[in-house]
């Protein structure tokens, strides 16, 4: 037996994605969609047969935070008159009535939830119908269900208050939430609910709950729920939650779920749990990384937990919902056998949990014994494999000492200005140009072997040529090649580095119907040969203007991959940094004078606990700096980050010391730029002047106004003018006039 907090929803072959997109495209009916969803739930429960319970309500047509908002009737004003699936998808994806709710990252994962908008004028009321339907479905199939529900505090903490007093909103929400619970109690006399309260892995969050006596509210809410007859488990994950545990042990709940992998300090709570009567759902199997568990070491961890908390009160559990994992290894044919044997996706994790539980309780039959033996062998093969360890790479990382540019910015920029002689307010773009269906077909055809190398290269070159000619013709100052050879900014580099593998079907939900297939870093990373030089030098050969080389930074490659767990993230990142450094050196030797190193995911790696931030910042910063330090003073290094909020990380951004940084501030006028001024930021900045995420074409007048607003914050010597992100998701019909207008607006302002 054992427990998980949730199972991936999209299906083994992304059935949910396909059903959703067909429904949204009016190619199928609501009934069709619901029948696919029902099938998936049944399949996913079948996967959980060996566990104590099957999870219900972990499934969602789009997002489980949105589900709860909907179940509480927490709808924004603009969608109040919509109901059913129309209202639900309106909040997720927008509607004629208004724009979608924002979406943001679920803690430090790459899953995005829909941010509920709360207002004091809302009329919260509970609607249990969906949860009831799921519950009864599972019962009818003979399963013992456990309801997964986002806790009230986490729901409130992740929402955005758009009107009225947050304390009053919390009170109203609490009433509706408890109404929902009252309905849930009616489902079953022994109903079990696992409440996710990850908000408390950041501490007790006094700022979020300002004006609310959060400790007594936690007790009050969870006591009320427990007293109503719900078997109550409260879980956290991704970090420790010692402060919450101190409160929960005094409550009437039945169980506490803790993550002992990403929240090692939860061990410090074991004593008070032992002294209480709580069941401990011990998260010892990694719910968010893909490596096969080392069962021997897991058993040791359980023994150490069990030396404090009585064994009969410990339930072997995953560290978090398996939502963040691919479905299963079945049918995976792209990864070579030995490496594949080191991997474990959602289905395989469940098998591990069951086996560990049996081993822990001394219930080892021949089947379990075989499983344990195999597990031992796999871990041994991984540990001793020559595939994961490369002495030369380790030694090079150890001894590499070019960790900072040779001259300070003030002197570099003088040399660069002399060399480039850019006009005031230089214009550029972020790298990619529209990914047309022809370009996608070309890449796919080449990958499948339907198109030979010469034909492929001819096609890519033709696209690059079009891009360069267009940029030249409209008068942009620093050009790009357009990235037609890249399917994805991380995958493209990963595919050319050693130590990476790519799956054929290991999809993970990113949001709604969007799935990603993160690269897998299994071994030491090295760059066998130049990755971008040919394309960039070809592009440069087509123009007298400066061609910007385009790379993805080490921190972003790390943060968007599944990373090996037998080496620290810092060490993996250091290896990646040297690959990028080598590429920069090759580019500058080939005559490329401006190079952009994208760090779109730099911020995503930030730890959840304030106490761990310093450490991350220090190594992530040093890896970025190492990756660009090889650049000669007159090679201009650009970086790009896809955020608008820089307040909390501005000091680190400053320390990156890129010559130019382009950022995503288009949607907020010049407000967000002010922090750069406040800290006395001296390097150059390109604060996106239009939002590429919308198909709208910005007019010359509005761009002029936008540029003038920027000039009120930073001096002209410091500013670049560019869109706020890459253009690959846009159409040429949108990109062409938009860029023409940018160049015209800059002309007028100049
Ligand atoms: N250079 C990349 C592009 O233009 C950057 C993408 C990103 O910031 N996410 O597509
Ligand atoms: Zn971006």
Q: How many CA atoms lie within 13 A of 10 on its CB side?
A: 28
The CA 724 to ligand 1 mean position distance, Å, reads 10
The CA 448 to ligand 2 mean position distance, Å, reads 29
- Mean pLDDT, the chain, rounded, equals 96
What band does 172 get if pLDDT is binned at 50, 70 and 90?
very high
Q: Whose CA is nearest to atom 4 of ligand 1?
A: 726
Per-residue pLDDT of 616-649, as tens digits, reads 999 999 999 999 999 999 999 999 998 777 888 9
Nearest to 106 by CA among 153, 155, 70, 73: 155
Which ligand sits nearest to residue 487's alpha carbon? Answer: 1
Residue 2's contacts (CB-CB under 8 Å, 6 or more residues apart) are 50, 51, 52, 315, 316, 317, 350, 353, 354, 356, 357
User: pLDDT > 90: what percent of the chain?
Assistant: 95
Which ligand sits nearest to residue 727's alpha carbon? Answer: 1
Determine the Cα–Cα distance for residues 728 and 482; give it in Å rounded to an integer: 8
Q: How many helices (H) and strands (E) does the chain have?
A: 27, 22
What band does 673 get if pLDDT is binned at 50, 70 and 90?
confident
Residue among 110, 429, 430 whose CB has most ligand 1 atoms within 8 A, to mutate: 430
Residue among 725, 729, 739 whose CB has most ligand 1 atoms within 8 A, to mutate: 725
| Choice among 112, 324, 481, 693 that is catalytic | 693
Q: Which residue has the higher pLDDT, 671 or 599?
A: 599
Per-residue model confidence (pLDDT) at position 577: 98
Taken as a whole, the chain contains a residue count of 750
> Residue 604 CB: number of other CB atoms within 10 A?
18
- Rounded to an integer, the average pLDDT of 22-32 is 97
User: pLDDT > 70: what percent of the chain?
Assistant: 100
Per-residue pLDDT of 214-235, as tens digits, reads 999 999 999 999 999 999 999 9
Which ligand sits nearest to residue 693's alpha carbon? Answer: 2
- Rounded to an integer, the average pLDDT of 588-609 is 96
Nearest to 282 by CA among 607, 608, 4: 4
Nearest ligand 1 atom to the CA of 432 is 4
Nearest to 540 by CA among 640, 488, 438, 467: 467
- Rounded to an integer, the average pLDDT of 591-613 is 95
Assess whether pLDDT exceeds 90 at residue 666: no
Q: Whose CA is nearest to atom 5 of ligand 1?
A: 726
- Rounded to an integer, the average pLDDT of 142-171 is 97
User: What SS3 class is residue 475?
Assistant: coil
Report the relative pairing of strands 546-552 and 255-259 from DSSP bridges.
unpaired
Query: CB of 224 within 8 A of CB of 232?
Result: no
Residue among 555, 726, 727, 729 whose CB has most ligand 1 atoms within 8 A, to mutate: 726
Per-residue pLDDT of 295-345, as tens digits, reads 999 999 999 999 999 999 999 999 999 999 999 999 999 999 999 999 999
pLDDT-wise least confident of 134-138, 457-461, 729-733: 729-733
Per-residue model confidence (pLDDT) at position 671: 77
For ligand 1, residues with CB inside 6 Å are 430-432, 483, 489, 550, 598, 600, 640, 642, 725-726, 728
- Rounded to an integer, the average pLDDT of 476-492 is 97
The CA 50 to ligand 2 mean position distance, Å, reads 44
The CA 239 to ligand 1 mean position distance, Å, reads 30
Per-residue model confidence (pLDDT) at position 678: 94
| Phi, psi dihedrals of residue 335, rounded to the nearest 5° | -95, 130
> Residue 398 CB: number of other CB atoms within 10 A?
9
Nearest ligand 1 atom to the CA of 486 is 10
Per-residue model confidence (pLDDT) at position 235: 98
Q: Whose CA is nearest to atom 9 of ligand 1?
A: 600
- Rounded to an integer, the average pLDDT of 509-514 is 94
- Rounded to an integer, the average pLDDT of 709-729 is 95
Nearest ligand 1 atom to the CA of 642 is 8
Query: CB of 691 within 8 A of CB of 726?
Result: no
- Rounded to an integer, the average pLDDT of 685-700 is 91
Assess whether pLDDT exceeds 90 at residue 456: yes
CA distances from 227 to 197, 313, 321, 546 (A): 19, 21, 26, 70
Nearest ligand 1 atom to the CA of 640 is 8
Residue among 483, 598, 730 whose CB has most ligand 1 atoms within 8 A, to mutate: 598
Query: CB of 214 within 8 A of CB of 243?
Result: no
The CA 459 to ligand 1 mean position distance, Å, reads 21
Per-residue pLDDT of 338-355, as tens digits, reads 999 999 999 999 999 999
The CA 91 to ligand 1 mean position distance, Å, reads 27
Question: For this structure, is 95 an active site residue?
Answer: no
SS (H, E, C) 216-239: HHHHHHHHHHHHCCCEEEEECCCC
Which ligand sits nearest to residue 595's alpha carbon? Answer: 1
Assess whether pLDDT exceeds 80 at residue 670: no
CA distances from 422 to 429, 476, 539, 716 (A): 15, 11, 19, 12
Report the relative pairing of strands 314-318 and 478-479 from DSSP bridges.
unpaired
Per-residue pLDDT of 544-566, as tens digits, reads 999 999 999 999 999 999 999 99
Nearest to 196 by CA among 120, 101, 264, 287: 287
Helices (H), 186-290: 214-227, 242-248, 270-275
Q: How far is CA 235 from the centre of its chain?
A: 21
Assess whether pLDDT exceeds 80 at residue 667: no
- The pTM of this model reads 0.96
pLDDT-wise least confident of 626-635, 657-666, 738-747: 657-666
The CA 639 to ligand 2 mean position distance, Å, reads 10
Q: Whose CA is nearest to atom 1 of ligand 1?
A: 431
Q: Whose CA is nearest to atom 8 of ligand 1?
A: 600
């Amino acid at each position: 037996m054992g427990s998980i907090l949730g199972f991936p929803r999209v299906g083994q072959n992304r059935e949910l994605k396909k059903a959703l997109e067909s429904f949204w495209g009016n190619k199928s009916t609501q009934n069709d969609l619901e029948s696919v969803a029902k099938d998936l739930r049944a399949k996913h429960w079948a996967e959980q047969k060996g566990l104590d319970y099957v999870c219900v309500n972990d499934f969602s047509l789009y997002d489980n935070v949105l589900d709860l908002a909907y179940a509480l009737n927490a709808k924004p004003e603009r969608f109040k008159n919509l109901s059913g699936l129309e209202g639900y998808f309106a909040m997720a994806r927008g509607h004629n009535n208004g724009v979608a709710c924002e979406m943001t990252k679920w803690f430090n994962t790459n899953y995005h939830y829909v941010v509920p908008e709360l207002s004091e004028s809302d009329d919260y009321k509970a609607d249990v119908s969906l949860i009831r339907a799921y519950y009864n479905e599972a019962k009818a199939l003979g399963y013992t269900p456990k309801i997964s529900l986002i806790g009230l505090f986490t729901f409130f903490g992740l929402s955005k208050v758009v009107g009225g007093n947050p304390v009053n909103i919390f009170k109203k929400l609490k009433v509706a939430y408890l109404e929902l619970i009252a309905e849930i109690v009616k489902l079953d006399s022994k109903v079990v609910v696992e409440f996710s309260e990850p908000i408390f892995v950041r501490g007790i969050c006094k700022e979020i709950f300002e004006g609310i006596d959060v400790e007594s509210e936690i007790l009050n809410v969870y006591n009320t729920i427990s007293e109503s007859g719900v078997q109550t488990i409260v879980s956290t994950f991704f970090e420790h939650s010692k402060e919450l545990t101190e409160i929960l042990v005094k409550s009437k709940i039945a169980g506490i779920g803790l993550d002992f992998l990403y929240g090692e300090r939860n061990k410090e709570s074991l004593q008070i749990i032992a002294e209480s009567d709580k069941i401990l759902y011990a998260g010892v199997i990694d719910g968010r990384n893909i490596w096969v568990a080392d069962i021997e070491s897991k058993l040791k961890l359980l023994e150490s937990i069990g030396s404090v908390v009585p064994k009969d009160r410990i339930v072997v559990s995953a560290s978090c919902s398996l939502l963040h994992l691919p479905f299963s290894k079945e049918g995976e044919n792209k990864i070579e056998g030995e490496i594949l044997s080191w991997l474990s996706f959602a289905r395989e994790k469940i098998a591990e949990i069951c086996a560990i539980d049996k081993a822990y309780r001394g219930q080892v039959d021949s089947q379990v014994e075989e499983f344990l033996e195999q597990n031992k062998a796999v871990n041994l093969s991984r540990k001793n494999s020559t595939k994961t360890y490369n002495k030369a790479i380790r030694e090079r990382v150890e001894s590499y000492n070019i960790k900072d540019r040779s001259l300070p910015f003030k002197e570099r920029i003088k040399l660069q200005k002399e060399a480039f002689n850019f006009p005031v307010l230089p214009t550029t773009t972020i790298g990619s140009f529209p990914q047309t269906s022809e370009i996608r077909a070309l890449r796919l055809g080449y990958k499948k072997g339907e198109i030979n190398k010469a034909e492929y290269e001819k096609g890519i070159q033709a696209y690059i040529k079009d891009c360069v000619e267009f940029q030249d013709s409209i008068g942009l100052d620093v050009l790009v090649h357009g990235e037609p050879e890249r399917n994805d900014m991380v995958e493209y580099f990963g595919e050319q580095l050693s130590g990476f593998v790519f799956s054929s079907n290991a999809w993970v939900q990113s949001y709604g119907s969007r799935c990603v297939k993160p690269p897998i870093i299994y071994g030491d990373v090295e760059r066998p040969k130049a990755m971008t030089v040919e394309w960039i030098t070809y592009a440069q050969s087509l123009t007298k203007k400066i061609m910007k080389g385009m790379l993805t930074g080490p921190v972003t490659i790390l943060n968007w991959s599944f990373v090996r767990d037998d080496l620290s993230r810092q060490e993996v990142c250091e290896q990646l940094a040297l690959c990028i450094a080598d590429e920069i050196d090759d580019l500058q030797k080939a005559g490329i004078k401006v190079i952009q190193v994208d760090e779109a995911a730099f911020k995503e790696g930030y730890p959840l606990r304030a106490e761990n931030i310093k450490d991350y910042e220090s190594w992530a910063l040093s890896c970025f700096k190492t990756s660009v330090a090889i650049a000669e003073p007159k090679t201009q290094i650009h970086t790009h980050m896809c955020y608008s909020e820089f307040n909390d990380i501005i000091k680190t951004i400053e320390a990156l010391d890129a010559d130019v940084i382009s950022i995503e501030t288009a949607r907020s006028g010049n407000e967000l730029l002010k922090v750069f001024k406040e800290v006395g930021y001296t390097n150059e900045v390109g604060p996106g002047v239009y939002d590429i995420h919308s198909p709208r074409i910005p007019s010359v007048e509005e761009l002029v106004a936008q540029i003038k607003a920027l000039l009120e914050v930073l001096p002209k010597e410091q500013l670049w003018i560019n869109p706020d992100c890459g253009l690959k998701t846009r159409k040429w019909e949108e990109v062409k006039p938009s860029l023409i207008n940018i160049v015209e607006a800059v002309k007028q302002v100049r």
